[in-house]
Structures are given as structure tokens and as C-alpha cells.
Amino acid sequence: MSRFLAGLIAVIFAFTGYAAEKAPDFTLSNMEGKKVQLSEVLKKGPVLLDFWATWCKPCLQELPHLDKLHREYSTKGLQTLTISIDNPKSQAKVKPLVKSAGYTFEVLLDGDMQVRKSLGGQDIPLTLLIDRNREVVYRHLGYVAGDEKKLEEAVKKLLAVPDSTKAAVQ
């Protein structure tokens, strides 16, 4: 029965034209007003993309973990873009928050949420890992303590970083 089910699923995908989710290419301004295009950033390596806002408590809890991942894996090719969806009135809070926390990742501004909406919905935080072909290989909505561990596992897999815990055991 399980072989039948697997075959049926394969046939359904073949006829529906199922494909992995592709991230739309976009261009947004960073906090200094410089234009940043996803396809250009992807030339340097896969992208960790996160949507957040200054008024979102789970977002603010997640940002330090994203910065830690950025600091650790940027030397291995990971590019990190965080995208604030703060509206133009609250965007003035973004730069002071980022600077006071000492975050090192790039922050883009999506005040009208067009990029966020293009990825389905409006809820935040939304975290994506995008490979060099613009395929979304990891997607997670929301944040609770511990989510960063799953994200780090996905980053390691994408970057083909050996798991140090397995190497220590062997």
C-alpha cells in the first residue's frame, strides 16, 4: 500500500507541475537609502531573509539569534537580509534599534509590505532561507525560543557545514 501511495503522489506532482517555491526578485532600500536587489545578493551566496517590525515582540526576541547566525556563517557564504515592515511613520525607530543592539546584518525597508505580501500573507516574523537559484529551502512563520536551533540546522545543511557534534562523537 505504501508503494502505491508513493506512486500516486509522484503522478499527482507530475501532472500538477509541482515545483519548489521560488522567491520573487525584489529591490528595496537599506537604512542608508542604498538599493539592494535580492538577485545581486544571491550571487555572493544563499540568503537568510527575515521580515520583522519594531513593534513585534517575537521579532525583537528573534533578531539577536539572527545576528549570531549572521556573524557565524557569513564567513561560510551566508548572506543575511532582514526586512523591516515598519510603516514610514515608525521607520524612524528602525535605525536606532539596530545600531543600539549592534546588529551586523543588512536591514532593508518594506514600509508598504509589497515584498512581504509577495511571499504570501502579512504575518511576522517570517524567516526564509533562499538558495542561489532563488528556491526557498526553509520557511518559518513566528518565533518562540528554540526556533533558532532548527534554523541553524537548515543553514548548516544549505551551506554543507559539517555537524560538529556528530564529528566529536565519531
Q: Could you read off the pLDDT of 22-66 as tens digits, one per residue?
A: 999 999 999 999 999 999 999 999 999 999 999 999 999 999 999
Please state the pTM of the whole predicted model. 0.83
pLDDT score, position 162 = 79
Cell numbers standing for residue 125: 516574523
pLDDT at 13: 40
Backbone conformation region of residue 33, classed left if phi is above 0, alpha if psi is from -120 to 50, else beta: left
User: Could you give all domains of the chain from N- to C-terminal order, each with its CATH number?
Assistant: 21-161 (3.40.30.10)
Phi, psi of 84 (to 5 degrees): -80, 130
User: Which residues of the chain have a pLDDT value below 70?
Assistant: 1-20, 163-170
d(CA 46, CA 19): 19
